[in-house]
Structure 1
Amino acid sequence: MSEEFISEWDRRRYIPKPGEPELPPQLSELADKSSDEVIEELNRLPFFMTKLDDTDGQGGENTNIEALKSLVYEGEPHEIAGNFKNQGNDCYKSKQYKNAIEYYNKGLEVDCDDDQINLSLFLNRAACNLELKNYRRCIEDCKKALQIDPKNVKACYRSGKALFLVERYDEAKEVIKYGLSIDEGNAALKQLAGDVDKKVQAIAKAKEMKDKEKQERLLKQTLLANAVKLRHIKIIKSSKPAALLEDAKLRLEDDKDYESQLIFPAMILYPTIDEFDFIAEIGELTTPFEILSMLLERPKEWFEDPKHKNFNIKSLNCFMETESGGLIKVGKKVAINKALMSDTPKAPLFDNGLRLYVVPEEDVKSWISTWSKETALSKRC
């Protein structure tokens, strides 16, 4: 180290005189503070600041910060607005969209008379709102931008994009068309136009399919209603249907042919032992014999129960309830639809399902003696 440099250092070096502190006045107040406290002190100085500190460390005002804030509003209106625009742009580049909007807001609040700066502020705020999915705000900003510059393609694109995303497709197409009339080769607008067209076509196709499905559904319902009417089948709806029949559906085996077989669920009731079976679907041409043959394919243990001792096909009798609340006996080898289609007496379907009572021969007389039309009719209410 040169003697010239050493002498300069010695000249500037702080050497305490008798009665003076060992450290320079600028550092003496930090001597008794921890490193964290020193860093906190430095953070209140704008040059060293890593986080905003609006206080002086004692709950008062940080005059350094306030001085910097005041500088923001120094200059001509267009300079102040331009400064806010630049700060907003910096935030936008780092994807701090909410912060950027705040700066653009402040720039517009200045109300400068520079159209180009105001145009940029509206356009840039629109871009932020688009990123934040504030689509309606984006549209409003673009409208204001277009009032300043009616041929601004960026405003057309951003408003078109926002309109597209809020499903205002006709308006989106209009603003995109207008933008392309200004710049017919604009790639972004052309791409957006294609996206809108695809979406509109997809919606139209979905609507067409939905309408077609609705028409087919109505046709099937009409065919089913006609099939029931032509067969003279009566359907009675109960106010409180059995839980298993709440969603019961009557349908045609071929839903496009009213002459095809009717399909419906069946409740097989054993009133003398207070049991029942449920069959999800049977055809109208099914006989009680076929139903019982299927249901009586049970484990040996079921028949060993004393209450089931007379449950075999030969000894069982089948009945259906009539519209007036009475009973009719149904032949076991006769198709169910014969009883359903007969006009006198009329045996209906209940809640779109068959209701078939099955009683052992030896219990028929006593069971019928307990049957009450009034009770049967009251259960339908």
Structure 2
Amino acid sequence: MVHIEEIPDEEPLNHPHGLKNEHLSLDRMIAEAASAHFGRPMTGADLPDAMAAVKSVSADEFIRQMNKMPLFMTELDETGENDEGPNEALEAIKALQEEGDPWEVAQNFKISGNERFKVKNYEDAREFYTKALNVNCDRDDINVACLNNRAQCNLEMRNYRKCITDCKAALKLDVKQDKAWFRAAKALLALDKIEEAEACIDNAIMLKPDHTQVADLGKKIKARKDHLEKMENQRRERERKKKWEEEAIKMSLQAREISTKSTKQPPEMPDGIKIKFMEEGKIESGLLFPVLLIYHLHLQTDMIAAMPETTSVGDQLTEVLAEPLEWDEQREYNPNSVECYMETKTGGLVKVGKNVSLLAVLSNGKCEITDGLVRILVVPKKRNTEFIENWKKTMKKA
């Protein structure tokens, strides 16, 4: 019979390897087992020396240190350790880049430029292509490639004139460079130099007749040319109509015996405010005049953009003075309580009848239109004498 010995709950459990169950945590049990087996506490594997050196460094500092290593650089940092002196590793790579025959040095710079271009860092790429060209190697293929690539960088950066300059330089070395013709055409199109753009794209099409991008650019240039020609034709038509209208207005005023004059400093008029025909382009339709009503005693004005020559001054005043003027606190201005005057050619005044048409007033031989604007002075009847005296004093000072 097998004897079974009962172990009391309070009796410690003896393990052959010396492990005691004292309600220890799993981590502590593993640590004690390791200590018993290896003769020392288990604290984790030792770090390599290089990693141990940065164990206590913050994440930001670690990234900064890594960025000084050329292999891990995300941006160009030319300072060395502790931000003092040059970055020796980077300087070593630069030195290697500039070693060798001139064409090898230029090729290395070109490769660096290509790498920057792939990640759309056009400014740095352009700088490397410039360095390659400054080597002045005797390999036209390298120089042409760098000029073409730098032209593309300038195109991406919208430096269109520099792009064109690089394309010209590339074509001087090799006139069959389709890329140079294509990029020059693209830059010229951006500058709206359509005739030159057409010439360049025609050469590119001759060299690459089946190239989709070349053909598409040719279509864009053609569309832009058509648009600009349309705009130019419209501009010329507007100019033609403007000149015709000016001459027709001049002849119409002469036929009506209306005098005009211009001053050295004419007032600025809003667009469309001028003497014109009632119906555009139709001389027989009659004239419209811009009229300035001047409330001389209150230093206020009202602009009538287009008063028909057949309208009487009284009818126009009835429309303008139908409601009290905002600044007329004494309510001195209404169609029945005012009189109208115009200045004569000699600086005097002529009273304007309210029932007389504007055409009759302007063609009386005494008044004239100044700078294309009819000026009518509006005065309260009860202050008529005051106005005339003020006018005389003003004329004497003038």
The TM-score with structure 1 as length reference comes to 0.73
Shift of 1:193: 1.8
What's the CA shift string for 1:236-294, capped at 9, x where partnerless? 556788999999633332242334333224445566x6576625142222224323433
2:318/2:335 contact within 8 Å kept: no
Alignment match of 1:145 (pick from 150, 170, 177)? 170
2:376 is matched by which residue type in structure 1? R
| Partner SS state of residue 184, structure 1 | coil
223 and 296 in structure 1: CA distance in 2 versus 1, 3 angstrom threshold:
same
177 and 374 in structure 1: CA distance in 2 versus 1, 3 angstrom threshold:
same
Distance, in Å, in 2 between the alignment partners of 1:49 and 1:333 is 90
1:16 aligned residue = none
Distance, in Å, in 2 between the alignment partners of 1:287 and 1:327 is 19
The share of aligned pairs that are identical, in percent, is 31
1:232 aligned residue = 257
| Partner SS state of residue 151, structure 1 | coil
Distance, in Å, in 2 between the alignment partners of 1:38 and 1:320 is 88
Q: Does residue 173 of the first structure (1) align with residue 194 of the second (2)?
A: no
2:359 aligned residue = 337
Map 1:273-288 → 2, pairs under 5 A: 274=298, 278-280=302-304, 281-288=306-313
Q: What is the CA RMSD across the aligned residues, in angstroms?
A: 4.3
| Partner SS state of residue 133, structure 1 | coil
Q: How many residues align?
A: 349
Shift of 1:339: 2.9
1:4 aligned residue = none
Map 1:78-157 → 2, pairs under 5 A: 78-157=103-182
Deviates more, 1:66-75 or 1:188-197: 66-75
The TM-score with structure 2 as length reference comes to 0.70
1:6 aligned residue = none
Shift of 1:210: 0.7
2:231 aligned residue = 206
Alignment match of 1:348 (pick from 344, 365, 368)? 368
User: Higher RCO, 1 or 2 (CA under 8 Å, sep at least 6)?
Assistant: 1
Deviates more, 1:190-199 or 1:319-328: 319-328
1:264/1:354 contact within 8 Å kept: no
25 and 178 in structure 1: CA distance in 2 versus 1, 3 angstrom threshold:
closer
Distance, in Å, in 2 between the alignment partners of 1:202 and 1:244 is 32
Distance, in Å, in 2 between the alignment partners of 1:209 and 1:127 is 36
Distance, in Å, in 2 between the alignment partners of 1:40 and 1:363 is 87
Shift of 1:376: 4.1
| Partner SS state of residue 264, structure 1 | strand
Q: Structure 2: any 5+ residue segments left out of the alignment?
A: 1-45
229 and 124 in structure 1: CA distance in 2 versus 1, 3 angstrom threshold:
same
1:181 is matched by which residue type in structure 2? M
1:135 is matched by which residue type in structure 2? Y
1:128 is matched by which residue type in structure 2? C
Distance, in Å, in 2 between the alignment partners of 1:25 and 1:44 is 21
Map 1:295-334 → 2, pairs under 5 A: 295-298=320-323, 305=330, 313=336, 318-334=340-356
| Partner SS state of residue 235, structure 1 | strand
Shift of 1:101: 2.0
Distance, in Å, in 2 between the alignment partners of 1:147 and 1:262 is 64
1:325/1:373 contact within 8 Å kept: no
